[in-house]
Structure 1
Amino acid sequence: MTKHSSKRTAVDVAIIGAGPAGAVAAALLRKAGRSVLVLERQHFPRFSIGESLLPQSMAYLEEAGMLQAVVEAGFQHKNGAYFVYRDQTSSFDFRDKHSSGWGTTYQVERALFDDILIRCAAQQGADVRFGHTVRAVHTGHMPLVDVIDEANHAYQIEARFVLDASGFGRVLPRLLNLETPTRMPTRAALFTHVRDGIPVDASDRNKICIATHPQRRDVWFWMIPLAGGRSSVGCVAEASFLDVPEAERDAALRALIQQEPTLNRLIGSAPFLMPVRHIGGYSANVERLHGPGYALLGNAGEFLDPVFSSGVTIALRSAHLAAHTLNRQLDGATVDWSADYDAPLRKGIDTFRAFVERWYTGELQDIIYYPDQAPSIRRMISAVLAGYAWDESNPYVADPVRRLTALHEVCMQR
């Protein structure tokens, strides 16, 4: 991994951000013989949230030549999710699903996971520059990217195309004024890691736990078992509910955990391994995911909500779609970014959105806890929860709003 060379560098593709979307896009483009430069403001490894992967992600990691490195890293195995509300529980095994493909994945510490992916991309020939900040992007047929490094050396990148994989940094939406209002309410999260000490038979470490606050169905918790006896734990709610001074965050999250019986039993007094962090206003959207000489990947384009851990899966799906579209364009084909990238990516995002919106209204919770679930419908729901939000052979992907509404009506007739 290099620092920088001349005042102006010419490459096929400049990628802003070295997270999962940027790393996978870089690897896929390198496999096609493209010259790729990745610009990352931070230094890796660095902490990031979004630790519970979905099985759909595994196909993209495999395609990018990264699967072996991820498998050998020793991350916590994951095969599903279980939901808790008061005395009700509902468990989904992602191996039992409507869609074909991977049914297992990992729960990861993102500092290590992201570092593994970008190092794989570098090993495949991507030029990765840490500590380099994008200050401006001049879009068009041959975009120019203005960059400055930590020694205050400024230089330009001349690229045939720019991919923004900057995640919550949202570099191009910010620089090019691409933001548009999101339909998702403003929510926030308090989270930390704990030394969980959970007895082997007390909880299924191979599944993420999603627990609903017993008094407020719009407030929920995650518990993500990680390798080495750690767990990530957090609470998500409307921003005002979690608006506490920084000095009081530890006590606030501890009190919230102790209000939920299952989490209180498992980790109610477990030591926090880092100060409680806060993230807010993370839901975001743009009018379109591409423009002259650029495309937006993953969270740089749109982020919904953490409840179904869809962020990394959407990021990797976007990297896959963008890399394949861009490779055809660079080979001289005429491509339609709206039809070939934007519309197909948003199809899955819209599926997740239908599920997220109905989680917060309580409709999806009614469905998840319904006692007499038909096995075939349960497998369809499981497939979406496993990340297969683009498989239109699944009725809950092909027409999620109508199908979920009808299913909820059935559940309420009981």
Structure 2
Amino acid sequence: MGKIEQTEIVIIGAGPSGAVAAGLLRKQGRQVLVIEKETFPRFSIGESLLPQSMQYLEEAGMLQEVVEAGFQHKNGAAFAKGALCSDFDFRDKFSPGWGTTYQVPRGQFDKLLADAAEKAGAEIRYGHAVTAVDVDAERPLVQVRGEGGENYAVSARYLLDASGFARTLPRLLGLERPSDFPVRGALFTHVEDRIALEDMDRHKILITVHPEHHGVWFWTIPFSDGRSSQGVVATPDYLARYPGTEVERLRAIIAEVPTLAKVLRQAVWDTPGRSLTGYAANVTSLWGKNYALLGNAGEFLDPVFSSGVTIAMRSASLAAHCIGRAYQGETVDWQANYALPLQAGVDTFRAFVAGWYEGGFQDVIFHDQHAPEIRRMIASILAGYAWDRSNPYVAKPQRRLDVLRQLCQQTVPEVVA
């Protein structure tokens, strides 16, 4: 082995969790090296942010760049199923904090965050891939293949995996565990949407449920340049019924939904489609000796409530805080101070995602007699405030959702206190 480079923190991946972690650690004065296998900008989904994520952008010193970028303003979520519709305004919510955010083409957004991390002093090496790791020694050792094919090693005090769906450490360390969510797939693309102003509020993500299959749903995420991200989520068996390219299959499924077909009636389908199957993932542990898994590298649930980027940024904030405490000489319990606090919010989202596919939470969404306080509590979850335990639907999400579903099915507008 040749000379081993030395640094304080190695981060695998320059996406939102990696960039935010780098920004936070640079504010602590730490030396940060980010290893990113791709070249930015690059395509990614997860384009509708949640207001809770704005807190972490602000903490990382990246808020001004995001605000000035001209992204599509977002203040809520709209749901549609046949003749039913329901809008949630995130500014009218139970939890304190940001009530607005943005809908972002991820290529541009991720590059903006990575550039901000570099401006703060982090080093990012694009086109470099982690090929092996050793976490048994006193300091993690990372083997890297460079852009030109050269191999080198880096030793660090801490290693953070922000590699997203690549799940670098889970693969290399045998940490992967099957998700308990059923396998689902997605077809998606970007379109020049040409959506009429009266057909959709561009300040909200539109979630449309198939009128006959409640487990099949569509996202429409408008951007500020007149384009939108359009996708469908369903079981692989359902998606396999439709022949052709990804775009042809997506358009055929949309044609079954009159309300969405009307919204997109003038769209120009000018971009090749993509597909993703079996994206739900989990791990045996979110941390180990001097390393931690951030965002999707640890666990990914489902795209239905756009929770992925918020969870990723929350994990970056928690990990950076733990590392900061360690550098101050404190003994850090990563299970108590990182894994459990992060998992608490993930479990809240899990209950709502499971309720969505079982149909119960859809009954809640489309119920037209919500008590105002209940509506604000639900809006807080949809806005990403899944860690606010003063919200009863965070403290005991499954029990309260079950009760609320029964009340909605009986059309009784009572507050579940």
TM bracket, shorter-chain basis: over 0.9
Matched, 1:335 2:301: no
Report the count of equivalent residues.
409
Contact 1:173-1:300 within 8 A present in 2 as well: yes
Structure 1: distance between partners of 2:184 and 2:199: 31
Q: 2:8 aligned to 9, 12, 24, which one?
A: 12
Q: 1:282 aligned to 274, 279, 284, which one?
A: 279
Contact 2:126-2:147 within 8 A present in 1 as well: no
Contact 1:358-1:364 within 8 A present in 2 as well: yes
State the match for 2:92 in structure 1: 96
Shift of residue 9, structure 1, vs aligned partner: 1.3
Q: Which SS does the other structure have where 1:50 is aligned?
A: coil
State the match for 1:309 in structure 2: 306
140-149 or 90-99, which moves further after superposition? 140-149
State the match for 1:131 in structure 2: 127
Residues 294-327 of structure 1: per-residue CA shift (max 9 Å, x gap): 1000000000000000000000000000000111
Matched, 1:208 2:217: no
Structure 1: distance between partners of 2:294 and 2:241: 32
Structure 2: distance between partners of 1:262 and 1:226: 20
Code of the residue aligned with 1:299 in structure 2: it is: N
Shift of residue 201, structure 1, vs aligned partner: 2.6
Matched, 1:67 2:63: yes
Structure 2: distance between partners of 1:412 and 1:266: 29
Structure 1 residues 39-50: aligned runs within 5 Å: 39-50=35-46
Q: Which SS does the other structure have where 2:340 is aligned?
A: helix
Q: Which SS does the other structure have where 1:335 is aligned?
A: coil
Code of the residue aligned with 1:354 in structure 2: it is: A
State the match for 1:185 in structure 2: 182
Shift of residue 251, structure 1, vs aligned partner: 1.4
Supply the RMSD in Å over aligned alpha carbons: 1.2
Structure 1 residues 104-119: aligned runs within 5 Å: 104-119=100-115
Structure 2: distance between partners of 1:220 and 1:209: 10
Matched, 1:351 2:348: yes
Q: Which SS does the other structure have where 1:160 is aligned?
A: strand
Contact 2:195-2:267 within 8 A present in 1 as well: no
State the match for 1:384 in structure 2: 381
Structure 1: distance between partners of 2:291 and 2:35: 15
Residues 200-240 of structure 1: per-residue CA shift (max 9 Å, x gap): 23210000000000110000000001111101110000122
Contact 2:50-2:307 within 8 A present in 1 as well: yes
State the match for 1:121 in structure 2: 117
Q: Which SS does the other structure have where 2:348 is aligned?
A: helix
168-177 or 327-336, which moves further after superposition? 327-336
State the match for 2:415 in structure 1: none
What TM-score, normalized by structure 1, do the two folds share?
Answer: 0.97
What TM-score, normalized by structure 2, do the two folds share?
Answer: 0.96
Contact 1:258-1:268 within 8 A present in 2 as well: no
Percentage of identical aligned residues: 58
Code of the residue aligned with 1:351 in structure 2: it is: T
Contact 2:163-2:297 within 8 A present in 1 as well: yes
Structure 2: distance between partners of 1:346 and 1:38: 25
Q: Which SS does the other structure have where 1:259 is aligned?
A: coil
Residues 224-263 of structure 1: per-residue CA shift (max 9 Å, x gap): 0111110111000012212378843221111111211221
Q: Which SS does the other structure have where 1:134 is aligned?
A: strand
Q: Which SS does the other structure have where 2:364 is aligned?
A: helix
Distance 1:274-1:175 versus aligned 2 partners, 3 A rule = same
Contact 2:28-2:324 within 8 A present in 1 as well: yes
Matched, 1:297 2:287: no
Matched, 1:254 2:273: no
Structure 1: distance between partners of 2:54 and 2:343: 20
Q: Which SS does the other structure have where 2:403 is aligned?
A: helix
Structure 2: distance between partners of 1:289 and 1:399: 23
296-305 or 272-281, which moves further after superposition? 272-281
State the match for 1:162 in structure 2: 159
Structure 2: distance between partners of 1:126 and 1:230: 32
261-270 or 55-64, which moves further after superposition? 261-270
Contact 1:257-1:268 within 8 A present in 2 as well: no
Matched, 1:32 2:28: yes
State the match for 1:194 in structure 2: 191
Distance 1:244-1:20 versus aligned 2 partners, 3 A rule = farther
Structure 1: distance between partners of 2:5 and 2:393: 47
Structure 1: distance between partners of 2:33 and 2:178: 31
273-282 or 297-306, which moves further after superposition? 273-282
Contact 1:13-1:160 within 8 A present in 2 as well: yes
Contact 1:11-1:159 within 8 A present in 2 as well: yes
Matched, 1:147 2:150: no
